[in-house]
Structures are given as C-alpha cells and as structure tokens.
Structure 1
Amino acid sequence: MSHPVDSDVSAVRTYIAQHRAAFLDDLAAWLRIPSVSAQPDHAPDVRRSADWLAAALKEAGFPTVEVWQTSGAPAVFAEWLSEDPQAPTVLVYGHHDVQPAAREDGWDSDPFDPVVRENRLYARGAADDKGQVFFHTLGVRAHLAAGGRTSPAVNLKLIVEGEEESGSPNFRTLVEAHADRLAADAVIVSDTGMWSEDTPTVCTGMRGLAECEIQLYGPDQDIHSGSFGGAVPNPATVAARLVAALHDEHARVAVPGFYDGIVELTDRERELLAELPFDEQQWLRTAKSHATHGEAGYTTLERIWARPTAEVNGIGGGYQGAGSKTIIPSSAVVKLSFRLVAGQDLQHTEKVVRAWAAEQVPAGIRHEITFSAGTRPCLTPLDHPALQSVARAMGRAFGQPVRYTREGGSGPAADLQDVLGAPVLFLGISVPSDGWHAPNEKVELDLLFKGVETTAYLWGDLAENWLRAP
C-alpha cells in the first residue's frame, strides 16, 4: 500500500498531465495580448488582458472575480473562500502587464505569437509574469481534485496588477483603497525566480528601487567653445563629474547617509549563499559581461541580492551627430537608479540624494532633480513558518531539498507588506536564462508545471501548519 503522501503526489501529477494541453492553449491566448503598460498605444490591450484574466479565473472556479480600475491600468482581484472557518487567508500577487517587445529587437519569432521550441515557450510575458500568474489557476484545481475538495484549504485571494512594468505608480493607492478586501495572513509573490533548473530555491527578499533624473542647465543656448570655453561652466562636464562622484574607490555609494538603517547580512545567510553552486564565469556569460565589479568585501551574489546600489542608467548632453561641433551645450542630463535593501527608506534615500546632488553642482549651473514613484525593499526571515511551507511544497514538487536566495530586482511586494501587515513570501520557477525584459523571453515548460504542482501542495501545507506558527 502506498504512502498517503505518495498517493497525493500521484493524484496531483495525474491531474496536471490530463490538463496540460488545455492549460498551455489558454496561456498562449493570454500571451497574444500585447499588454505593454509603458506604451500608451497599448492601453486598450492592457484592459483587454485584465478582462481575459478575469474570465479565465471565473472558468477556473473562483466564485468572486472583479476588475478593479485605477487612474492607470486595471488590476484583477479574485477570491475563493475555504469551507474551514479556521483556514488562514493567503493573497497571491502577480502582474499581467509586460515589457515592450518587437521582432526587430532581436527576437527569433514574433514576441506576441507564442511558440514552443525544445520544450520552452517563447513569448513576451511567458516568464514575467503571465506564466507565473497563470500556473495558480491549474494548481488550485489540482489541489481540489487530489484532496476531493470543493474549496481550497486556505482562503485564497489573487491581486494581479497592470502597471508593474511601469513602476506600479497606482498600486499602493489601490491596496490602501481595498485593504479590507485584500486582508491576508500571508502574501505569496509569484513574480520571481529560482537558482537553476537543477537547484530549486525559494526567494526570501527583493530589493527596492528609487529612480531619478537630474537635468543640468548652463548657458541659455549652445555657445561657441572658442569664444566662451574655459570661462563659463559646462553642464556636460558637470554631468560627468556628478557621475564620477557617485562611488568611492571601493565601489561604495558615496552619497552621505545612503546606507543609514540597512539590515546587514547575518553570518548564517552568508553561509547559505556561499553553498549555492555559483559559477561566476557562467553568470558573466548570462550577464553578457566580461568582468565582475562592485562593493569591496562582498561576493557577487551578496552584491546583487543583499547590498544597495547606485547605477547610471543614462547620461547625455551636447552634440551627438557625426563629426564635430565646437560648442558648450546649454544642458545635460543624468539618469540614476538606486536598488535598496531592507532597512532603507524611500523618502530618506530621496532626501540624501537631493542633498548630495546640490553639493556637486557648481555656481552657474541650475539643476532640477525628479524622482519617479519608488518601490520598497522587503525581506522574510528564514525561520518564518509560512516560508517553511513554501519550501516544503516546492521540495515535494521537485523531489529534493530547497535552498534559499534573494532577488536583485524590485517589485511592489513591500507595499502589500506595509499596508496589510502580512509577511511576504516568494514562489517562482523562472530561471536566469529566461530572459526577462530581453529578446526571446521564454519559460521552461517542465519548470512551469513544477510551479503548478508546488501550488497544489502549498495550500494544504499552509492550512495544516498555520496553527503552529507563532
């Protein structure tokens, strides 16, 4: 007689196999909608994407499905309550908008015409984030079928926004307005990845993001560099000096106060990161780069996951055409982004960057600094019981122990944590080679269905272990 756990796994995998083809057909239909939130021309497509998802969630069995309008793109909310009055409430977060994409960017096929090659599904949004949102629809159905249930073991909610790829400018306002509907004991973010196909991992945190643009103005118009050069300040030179002053000789961010309050890595966390099978040369090939660089005293993984950064995203000013044009330009611009870690505050970061920039700009140069809507960092303690449920569920799906990582990118998860007062957990199956934001974005189909399987186990594990959680 088989062990109960084995029969549960068998039932889940059988159900998934029976519904695999229909699931992929549906996902492909969603991927064909070019829901690019950053391009105004695609605003109707983003709305169409929300409506499509709402219909799909109803078809999956969610009794409550609503499209929530914002001053920007719409979000989708769904809810399926458990019959167990003691059940914990879990909110799943994802997004249905995607990055811009065009065939001429270097795609081997139309980015919005999904195609399967070598057991990989290629399309914009396949991994980031439509594929990882959609696996929850089949996962909850497999959970019900395997357990002979008519409702989930947890009170299951989904919030799928439409502006993540545009910085989520309206998301916090949306969460605050619907905080009672979104209330949860834990938040699951399925907009993340894992280490590799062979090493399943659970992410424990994401960095935050602050972005700014610094405009520099000198002469009222471009002027002759022979008649005036050397006697008036040049905004392009000031832009270069500004960029050069951003870091010290140890690649530390040189903005005074920038590191205030950060949560340092523990010795245990550094040990766990060091255990990962990290091949730096392979990582460099994935990064399309030729050498590592960064803050002294930290490994590459520590730099991209647990340390804050300042990056120059763009710098410009003056004549850019062929040949020469001997001018002092009237203006220049610098675009900066700052990745933040747990303990850093967006308002404090903006304050210290503004003060730093003002110190760098000489007399005769006027500057304007504009910050975009920011994203807060978040971090889940390794010993959190709900995190352990995620690790166990993923371990069952993959048939091996799960390790822990962090995520170098950013998302609005911390807004959910702040407003709802719930811990944020990460569940994703994407791997670095999936090419988020790049040409030929794809998702590994075997991993996509491991994500389905993980969620099928997760809701029962959370329900069973929640009462033992402190």
Structure 2
Amino acid sequence: MTTEPTTTARDYIDGHRQDLLDDLDSWLRIPGISAQPDHHDDVRRSAEWFVDAARRTGFPTAHILDDGPWLPAVYAEWRSDDADAPTVLVYGHHDVQPVDPLELWHTDPFDPTLDGDVLRARGASDDKGQLLFHLLGVQAHLAATGRTSPAVHLKLLIEGEEESGSPHFQELLDAHRDLLACDVVVVTDTGIVAPDVPSTVTGMRGMVAATVTLHGPDLDLHSGVFGGAVPNPATAVARLVAALHDDDGSVQVPGFYDDVVELTDDERALFGKVPHDDGEFLKVAQSRAVHGEKGFSTLERIGARPTAEVNGIGGGYQGAGHKTIIPSDAFVKISFRLVANQDPQKIVQGVDRFVSEHTPEGIVADVAWEGAGVQACLVPLGTPAYTALTEAIGAAFDGAEVLPTREGGSGPEAALQQATGVPLVFLGFMLPDDQIHAPNEKVSVPLLYKGAEAAARLWSGFAEVGATALRTGA
C-alpha cells in the first residue's frame, strides 16, 4: 500500500536523530562479549534487545535463532506488499570484542559517551551503530515513499559470535537455509576510507592460520655438551620463518599465487583515486615504515594481495639472564590472508609442503591448522546491485563519486555468499581510526545518519532493478 510521501528520507532522519542515539545508548550498555563465557548471558540480552527494536520499527517477524551450538543470533523479516519485489538479506553482528586492556580506556567502555559528533563505547562502530542505522533507514524509506511496507522483501540476519571468529556460522546457515533465500545480500560490517570520501568495499580477504611446532631432543639439553652436535628447533624455526618471503616480499609457499585474481588496469586506476597518505597510515599503525610485496601500493597490499604473517614465535628459555640450552621445542604461529579464487585447502597443502621442505633432519614438525579457513569474496564492479548501491551511497553524500576499496580483514561473508548463491555488496560506514578492536572505540554519528539515508534509498533502488537482474548480475 502506498500513500502520499510525508517527507524526504534525509528530512525524516534529521527529525529522528535522537531516536537513533537513544537506542544506541541503551544497546551499547549491554556487554555482549562473545569471546568470554562469563558474558554469554549478555550476548542473549543483546539479541533480545535487537528483537524488540526490530519489532518497534515495524518488522512483523523478529526472533532469536538459538537452536544450535551458536550464540543467539537474530532473524527479522518484513515482506513487501509487492509480491514480485526482490528479496534482500542484510547481514551484521551484535556481539562485541573484549575491552582489554581496560586501563587504556578513557571512559567506561559500556557507558556510552557522546563528545560532539563522536560517540565512544565498545560496539559503537562495530557493529551496533551500523545495524541501528538500518532500522532508522527503513522508517525513512517508508516516509519518503509513502509506503506502508518496504519496496523490497527485507530480511535481517544478525550474528552473535562474529567477534569470536564465527565458529558455528556455517552450521547456522545450514540449519536455516530456508530463511535465507534472497536475490542479493547486503553486508553491514565494513567502512569507508574517510568521512568526506564515500566508498564501498568490493572484496574481503580469506584466511587460514596454523601453529607450527618443531620438536628436537626429547628434553632441553646443555648447550655446552650438545651444542653444535644435534639440531636446534629454535634455529630451525628461525630459518623456516626467514624462508617464508623472498627479498621482494613475495610469499615462497609452493603454488601460493597460482589462482590469484590480479587487479585489472581499470581497478588499479580506481584504487589510485582513493585518498591515501603513507605518512598518515603509519601514524595510525604507530609504525615507522611501509613494507610489503614489491610492485604494489599500500592499499593494494592490504586489500588485493595475499599475505603471510608471523603472529607469534617462541621456544626455549624466556626468563631473565641466561639458561644455556638447546630447547626441546620451538613454535611459530602464522596466518595467510587470501584473495579471490584462492582455495584455503590448496594453501594448506602448500604450507604443509613448505614446512616439510624446511624441516631439517632430526626435527619433527607438526602443523596444527585452526579450522578449514575462510574463503575470500569479491564484488564485481558494474553489476546492477553494485550500481544501485553506489547510487544510494552517492546520493547520501550529495552526488559524490563512490570509490571501490577492498577490506584487508576476513569474515564470514564468503560463507554467506556461498549459502545464498546470490551477489553480495557492502554498505558500511566505519572509519579507519574508529579503533574497532582497541580501547576507546568510537563512531562518527553523522556517518550513521548518512548510512540510514543510503539504506533508505537503496531499497527503492533495488526495487527498480528487479529481482532477476539483482540475482543474475545482468
């Protein structure tokens, strides 16, 4: 049903800014830290809070999904009065990161503090603020179109353990595949490059990670008696790590680059338009030099190229002074960020071979992988879904060009894309300096309002494109 529009989307949002802030203040006070079992009851309270908020917004269907090993997730649905409208699935997460080290916070992480246009609290940016702009956005969409239901069949899937690595997400998808049927997925757990530079993520990297343990003698040995006569696992692990990259920063794992989808000239040109300053980047990183694969810019390295990183290394005596031993064991923790078309299991096989080839005689290597890994996902430029998305974001920024970027991190988006079998796009407004996993997490409140406007416009844009074009990408 449609009536005369009562306002524009932006005017509606401007008139209801306080509603978003009030809801965000209430929700952020719930410490739903999924990684800490002591807070699992809070994760449930967080899910219950969002169910109530979705119902207050107008979603006829909103309930908790907790019929499996996963922490409480939320499903909500609001069907359009137009039977042939496209179906859109919005993904996000309501759980939050731990707050440690607490002493580095300037304010209580679960007592939201508004300072001008900045709101600080754990979860303000990642991901509660972004989810709430969707609730305001659908209300603005209705007001601006005069509709009593959205122009699309709108579904929300809000996960409860993304900040713990989504360990049961595939099981959640398998158990509720019937609920997830859609024509396009919108992920709201990413950001833009700067407050005045609208952008959208067009890819997220996959990942595999492992702990490699090298075992030498069955006990620590006196280095004066046995040194130079038996293999030392600490030396072996150092050599293994040193062999991981060549002098140009390229990863030396067999077959590592075989399936990498290279950036096209057009994509590299668009990357070149994204404002970036290595000096400012280093300030945020609190580092002193950029580094990486030769022949690629910093943005390309962290978004469009695969990497290998040493996350931790150790072995032998770690205390004060000397303990002159040949240690029995040494270890290294390594992770590999993957790009589109790289198969995590093929990388696993290559790393296993690499470790075997670099393990000296007399050392026993064990490679313990952390699960099956996460695949990368890629959003093709120029599809109907991508075009509608960039038009909606651009309109929220008064017609500015929307640039494509790629997210260096990894998440469950590829699993969601595989489960639904439809195109996926990203609508997110985090900023690079929002300190999303660090003390003093913050969110730009004006960007939440822009997110609400972009969402309000997007549902009309998707409806104009139609279900078939969205689904097929043609």
What one-letter code is carried by the residue in structure 2 that aligns with 1:58? R
The runs of at least 4 consecutive aligned structure 1 residues that moved more than 4 Å come to: 7-10
Aligned-residue offset at 1:431: 1.1
* Residue 313 of structure 1, aligned match among 300, 303, 311: 311
Pair 1:178 & 2:176 matched: yes
CA–CA distance in structure 1, aligned partners of residues 44 and 331 of structure 2: 34
* Residue 41 of structure 1, aligned match among 4, 29, 38: 38
Aligned-residue offset at 1:50: 1.5
Change (3 A) 1:356 1:103: closer
CA–CA distance in structure 2, aligned partners of residues 105 and 366 of structure 1: 42
What is the CA deviation profile of residues 143-177 of structure 1, one whole-angstrom value per residue up to 9, with x for unaligned ones? 11221211110010111111212211111121122
What one-letter code is carried by the residue in structure 2 that aligns with 1:48? R
* Residue 93 of structure 2, aligned match among 85, 92, 95: 95
What SS does the corresponding residue of 2:466 show, helix, strand or coil?
helix
Show the counterpart of 1:108: 106
CA–CA distance in structure 2, aligned partners of residues 110 and 452 of structure 1: 27
CA contact (8 A) 1:203 1:426 kept: yes
Aligned-residue offset at 1:123: 0.9
| Structure 1: runs of 5 or more not aligned | 1-6
Show the counterpart of 2:142: 144
Show the counterpart of 1:288: 286
CA–CA distance in structure 1, aligned partners of residues 369 and 70 of structure 2: 19
TM-score norm. by structure 2 comes to 0.95
Most deviating of 32-41 and 431-440: 32-41
CA contact (8 A) 1:98 1:124 kept: yes
Aligned-residue offset at 1:435: 1.2
Change (3 A) 1:150 1:363: same
CA–CA distance in structure 2, aligned partners of residues 97 and 321 of structure 1: 38
RMSD, aligned α-carbons: 1.6
Show the counterpart of 1:390: 389
What SS does the corresponding residue of 2:430 show, helix, strand or coil?
coil
What one-letter code is carried by the residue in structure 2 that aligns with 1:333? F
CA contact (8 A) 1:103 1:110 kept: no
Counterparts of 1:8-47 in structure 2 under 5 Å? 11-47=8-44
Show the counterpart of 1:4: none
Pair 1:443 & 2:412 matched: no
Most deviating of 405-414 and 359-368: 359-368
What SS does the corresponding residue of 2:238 show, helix, strand or coil?
helix
CA–CA distance in structure 2, aligned partners of residues 361 and 339 of structure 1: 23
Show the counterpart of 1:130: 128
Counterparts of 1:251-266 in structure 2 under 5 Å? 251-266=249-264
What one-letter code is carried by the residue in structure 1 that aligns with 2:432? P
* Residue 55 of structure 1, aligned match among 28, 52, 56: 52
Pair 1:68 & 2:94 matched: no
CA–CA distance in structure 2, aligned partners of residues 14 and 269 of structure 1: 36
Change (3 A) 1:456 1:417: same
* Residue 235 of structure 1, aligned match among 214, 233, 236: 233
Show the counterpart of 1:275: 273
What is the CA deviation profile of residues 287-316 of structure 1, one whole-angstrom value per residue up to 9, with x for unaligned ones? 211111111111111111100000011111
CA–CA distance in structure 2, aligned partners of residues 368 and 34 of structure 1: 38
What is the CA deviation profile of residues 71-123 of structure 1, one whole-angstrom value per residue up to 9, with x for unaligned ones? 13121111111110110001001111111113635111111211111310111
Change (3 A) 1:300 1:10: farther
CA–CA distance in structure 2, aligned partners of residues 435 and 357 of structure 1: 35
Change (3 A) 1:35 1:12: same
What one-letter code is carried by the residue in structure 1 that aligns with 2:346? H
What SS does the corresponding residue of 2:391 show, helix, strand or coil?
helix
CA–CA distance in structure 2, aligned partners of residues 421 and 368 of structure 1: 36
CA–CA distance in structure 2, aligned partners of residues 173 and 379 of structure 1: 23
What one-letter code is carried by the residue in structure 2 that aligns with 1:297? G
CA contact (8 A) 2:70 2:172 kept: no
What SS does the corresponding residue of 1:129 show, helix, strand or coil?
helix
Show the counterpart of 1:205: 203
| Structure 2: runs of 5 or more not aligned | none
What SS does the corresponding residue of 2:31 show, helix, strand or coil?
coil
CA–CA distance in structure 2, aligned partners of residues 45 and 270 of structure 1: 44
CA contact (8 A) 2:249 2:292 kept: yes
CA contact (8 A) 1:135 1:452 kept: yes
TM-score norm. by structure 1 comes to 0.95
Aligned-residue offset at 1:30: 1.4
Aligned-residue offset at 1:349: 1.2
* Residue 221 of structure 1, aligned match among 195, 219, 222: 219
Show the counterpart of 1:418: 418
Show the counterpart of 1:3: none
Most deviating of 292-301 and 10-19: 10-19
Counterparts of 1:320-399 in structure 2 under 5 Å? 320-373=318-371, 374-399=373-398
Counterparts of 1:151-162 in structure 2 under 5 Å? 151-162=149-160
Aligned-residue offset at 1:19: 2.0
Identical aligned residues as a percent: 57
* Residue 117 of structure 2, aligned match among 104, 116, 119: 119
